[in-house]
Structure 1
Amino acid sequence: MSFRTDNDDYETWLGTQCDVVKADIDYKHQRMKKSAFIFLRATYFRWAKKIGDWCPQLMDAPPVLSVGDLHLENFGAWRDADGRLVWGVNDFDEAAIMPYVLDLVRLAASIRLAPDLAVGNRAATGALLKGYRDGLDDPQPALLYEGETWLRPFAERADLKPEKFWKEVSGYPKASPPAKIAEAMIASLPKDVEKVRMCSRRKGGGGLGRPRYVAVAYWRGGRVLREAKALVPSAWDWANDKKSQASNFLELANGRYRAPDPFLHVRNKFILRRIAADSHKIELGDDAGAMLRLDLLRAMAFDLASIHAAAGSATTRAIRRDLGKRPRGWLNAAAKAAAAAVERDYEEWRN
């Protein structure tokens, strides 16, 4: 089945799950032509549908509640309940139970597709496997002002100045979210805020097209923001003809080895969170490949393993056994095959 057919089918299904923002879908379609890396980010539904055909040798791996749509730009920073700045995976919209290796392979494929890659593919997959094994052995969050201070330049990039963030906020267009969603965002704000303004926001890759609102309020000298993004069932369920199930979003986001964001909630099928200049998804953009270092890749895989390890010791032991049985170079080979398939789909779309 062609990519375009799956794209049409998925967007038809998405329209049954939320009030699709047509302008954002059109914008996503244009962005999908820019590069294979951006295309991958925007098309998890196709990955979920075809990865078993592209890499059948992966599908017998132990199942675990997984991120699903993992890639280089699915990492960000937030403040935990004690105000500590934390770094790690910060988008669990596509969470579902699947073979654990699929998260690793998708991350590795996104590295292959990143522009101007600064590390070799074999070295990259070696770093991922090293970080993943270490994370299974000692799962924990990455704290940017304590244990993992070296990660701060990636979370506090010089080109992502607070001024730029607030300029974008000033440009958010006005919007009228559903009454229950507006009430939920306001309830999440400090009690004595002033001048609440309801806006829409265009952000992300695969989530484009889902309604996304922001409450911008003035409070004690500055602005505070709460975002609400429509939450729909994982595309993994769509791809595997499963009936829509309750979202696994919060189970992963608040897992045993996380330092979770206390402002992250699900209300009325919307994800609510605090966003700020220091609490946001970290977009690497056109520099994605050039910014990569092996220690950063190890940290990404370490955080992934900490997420998987929350499934319990029996699952962790099964994952270790499976890793030990896989042939040398398996991750690099699978990422190569998957990336080549994504590039074929990208060429079909672009042309």
Structure 2
Amino acid sequence: MIDIATEIASFNTGREPERLAMKYQLMRTSPFVFLRGTCHLFYHRLPHGSVLEAAPPVWICGDLHLENFGSYKADNGLVYFDMNDFDEACLAPSLFELIRLLTSVLVGAADLHVSRAEALALCHTAVDAYAAALSVGKARWIEEETSQGMVRDLFDALRKSSRVDLLNRRTELKGKKRVLRVDGKKALPVSDKARAEVTAFMDEFASHQDSPEFYRVIDVARRIAGTGSLGVDRYVMLVEGKGSPDGNYLLDLKQALPSSVSPRVKTKQPGWGTEAERVVAIQRRSQAVSQAFLHAVAFRQQPYVLRSLQPSEDRVALSDWDGKLPRLEAVVNNMAELSAWAQLRSGGRQGSAIADELIAFGCRKDWQMPLVELAVQCEAQVIDDWKAYCAAYDSGAFGTLGAAAKTQKA
């Protein structure tokens, strides 16, 4: 029997209190947000001996859900739509990835105003799309020319936007110089000590790059992003880029922690130099083209991942499906296909299944229905866990915010 409050508090021990409090508060809002914030708990709850463990071993991002996809600018200058978070990445049976995506569809149905029947239909079509993509055996990708529906809408919006628009949303102009907008929503102030440490780190990093002046730090703030990783040490940096003020760039520096998925699988994991090397290596082999500025680095003698900032505005607005299920179905199918393509692309690396094995698995028909049935079980477990979490949160088990919520509710 798991004590939800103890399990969650124990997992988040050591995280920065201010952003951790934000995480706890967000997780109280809905089962879907709770699911996003408790990847460790989800995999801890998966039943042993299920259909999952018979699937071939592949590289997974580890935290596949509806909000873990978005557009990003790659190091070749083009924009792609793909999985965008590899913090939990590891070697695992392929269906460990898909079960979390299906569960997120079921748990997120209420937030998306999708009926039960529609959510189940989305799960079945996603499974079909994943199996079909595997059976073809060729890794593809999604860019503007190959996008459709709501993903195409995202690309259309991005085409009308620019990097300057992103800078204007995230920074303020003071004369001819930009500074980060510290609004408590996307960014928090940073101490003088941390600012100096980040700046010194970037100066050292820049000294080994072809254009060191590009990485000259103009401003630093603590970044607020995601749900599961809130509280992890993370910074947004405004750097000189191609020249101030409109040529500036935004970079993300985030501490890399151990995968919470790998202890829950029987698959033997390869040795990694650092957790950041694990994250970056799996992201590079899974995405068609790597995200810009992606590096595994050491900061404060700890592993961190450095990359271009990927704003939340670059995600598909799933709520805009306008009551037309085929629009939502196309996006969810794309997500399932992207998972399959990543597994094919990274196949045969350090113990992962080769393409022939994945093709054969995609052609099998014995795992699809059991997988959807398991997703329904997982959905029920997530909702039960969320209710237990809400009770603990409202009783003050997670600090003053919990007590305040209970008082306000009363």
TM-score (norm 2): 0.73
Q: CA separation of 1:238/1:101 partners in 2, compared to 1, >3 Å: closer, same or farther?
A: closer
Q: CA separation of 1:252/1:190 partners in 2, compared to 1, >3 Å: closer, same or farther?
A: same
Which secondary structure does the structure 1 equivalent of 2:238 belong to?
A: strand
2:254 pairs with 1:226: no
Q: Which residue of 2 aligns with 1:94?
A: 88
Which secondary structure does the structure 2 equivalent of 1:23 belong to?
A: helix
Q: CA separation of 1:327/1:237 partners in 2, compared to 1, >3 Å: closer, same or farther?
A: closer
In structure 1, list runs of 5 or more residues that go unmatched.
none
2:125 pairs with 1:127: yes
Q: CA separation of 1:299/1:201 partners in 2, compared to 1, >3 Å: closer, same or farther?
A: same
Look up the equivalent residue of 2:386 and give its one-letter code.
Y
Q: Which residue of 2 aligns with 1:63?
A: 57
The structure with more radius of gyration: 2
Q: How does 1:29-48 map to 2 (within 5 A)?
A: 29-48=24-43
Look up the equivalent residue of 2:354 and give its one-letter code.
T
Q: Which residue of 1 aligns with 2:229?
A: 207
Q: How far apart in 1 are the matches of 2:210 and 2:124?
A: 44
Look up the equivalent residue of 2:236 and give its one-letter code.
V
For the aligned residue pairs, the C-alpha RMSD in angstroms reads 3.3
Q: How far apart in 2 are the matches of 1:47 and 1:111?
A: 14
Which secondary structure does the structure 2 equivalent of 1:86 belong to?
A: strand
Structure 1 range deviating more: 213-222 or 78-87: 213-222
Which secondary structure does the structure 1 equivalent of 2:224 belong to?
A: coil
Q: How does 1:220-259 map to 2 (within 5 A)?
A: 220-222=244-246, 223-239=248-264, 246=272, 247=275, 248-255=278-285, 258-259=288-289
2:370 pairs with 1:330: yes
Cα shift readout 1:143-188 (whole Å, capped 9, x = no counterpart)? 12x2225523135659x97757733442233422545644467567
Contact 1:32–1:42, Cα closer than 8 Å, also in 2? yes
2:307 pairs with 1:273: yes
Structure (1/2) with the larger helix percentage: 2
Which secondary structure does the structure 2 equivalent of 1:126 belong to?
A: helix
Look up the equivalent residue of 1:73 and give its one-letter code.
E
Q: Which residue of 2 aligns with 1:141?
A: 141
Which secondary structure does the structure 2 equivalent of 1:235 belong to?
A: coil
Cα shift readout 1:59-84 (whole Å, capped 9, x = no counterpart)? 23222121111100101111223311
Look up the equivalent residue of 2:130 and give its one-letter code.
Y
Cα shift readout 1:22-57 (whole Å, capped 9, x = no counterpart)? 11111111111000000000000101212135x833
2:168 pairs with 1:166: yes
Which secondary structure does the structure 2 equivalent of 1:110 belong to?
A: helix
Q: Which residue of 1 aligns with 2:388?
A: 348
Cα shift readout 1:293-323 (whole Å, capped 9, x = no counterpart)? 1111111111111111121395333344445
Q: Shift of residue 85 of structure 1?
A: 1.0
Cα shift readout 1:239-260 (whole Å, capped 9, x = no counterpart)? 5699995343223211266121
Look up the equivalent residue of 1:173 and give its one-letter code.
L
2:77 pairs with 1:83: yes
Look up the equivalent residue of 2:340 and give its one-letter code.
A
Q: CA separation of 1:60/1:153 partners in 2, compared to 1, >3 Å: closer, same or farther?
A: same
Q: How far apart in 1 are the matches of 2:321 and 2:382?
A: 18
Q: How far apart in 2 are the matches of 1:2 and 1:288?
A: 38
Contact 2:91–2:262, Cα closer than 8 Å, also in 1? no
Which secondary structure does the structure 1 equivalent of 2:291 belong to?
A: coil
Which secondary structure does the structure 1 equivalent of 2:54 belong to?
A: coil
Structure 1 range deviating more: 307-316 or 225-234: 307-316
Cα shift readout 1:206-261 (whole Å, capped 9, x = no counterpart)? 11110111111342441311110111110123556999953432232112661212
Q: How far apart in 2 are the matches of 1:337 and 1:165?
A: 44
Q: How far apart in 2 are the matches of 1:149 and 1:184?
A: 43
Look up the equivalent residue of 1:201 and give its one-letter code.
R
Which secondary structure does the structure 2 equivalent of 1:273 belong to?
A: strand
Q: Shift of residue 108 of structure 1?
A: 0.8
TM-score (norm 1): 0.84
**What is the total number of aligned residue pairs between the two structures?**
341
Q: How far apart in 2 are the matches of 1:276 and 1:56?
A: 36
Q: CA separation of 1:321/1:71 partners in 2, compared to 1, >3 Å: closer, same or farther?
A: same
Contact 2:23–2:37, Cα closer than 8 Å, also in 1? yes
Q: How far apart in 2 are the matches of 1:256 and 1:31?
A: 30
Q: How far apart in 2 are the matches of 1:290 and 1:201?
A: 34
The match for 1:22 among 17, 21, 29 is 17
In structure 2, list runs of 5 or more residues that go unmatched.
172-180, 392-410
Cα shift readout 1:317-336 (whole Å, capped 9, x = no counterpart)? 33444451425522321211
Which secondary structure does the structure 2 equivalent of 1:199 belong to?
A: strand
Cα shift readout 1:113-140 (whole Å, capped 9, x = no counterpart)? 1113447123212321232134322312
Look up the equivalent residue of 2:4 and give its one-letter code.
F
Contact 1:118–1:293, Cα closer than 8 Å, also in 2? no
Contact 2:31–2:383, Cα closer than 8 Å, also in 1? yes
Q: How far apart in 1 are the matches of 2:70 and 2:131?
A: 22
2:3 pairs with 1:5: no
Look up the equivalent residue of 2:8 and give its one-letter code.
N
Q: CA separation of 1:231/1:257 partners in 2, compared to 1, >3 Å: closer, same or farther?
A: closer
Q: CA separation of 1:240/1:4 partners in 2, compared to 1, >3 Å: closer, same or farther?
A: farther
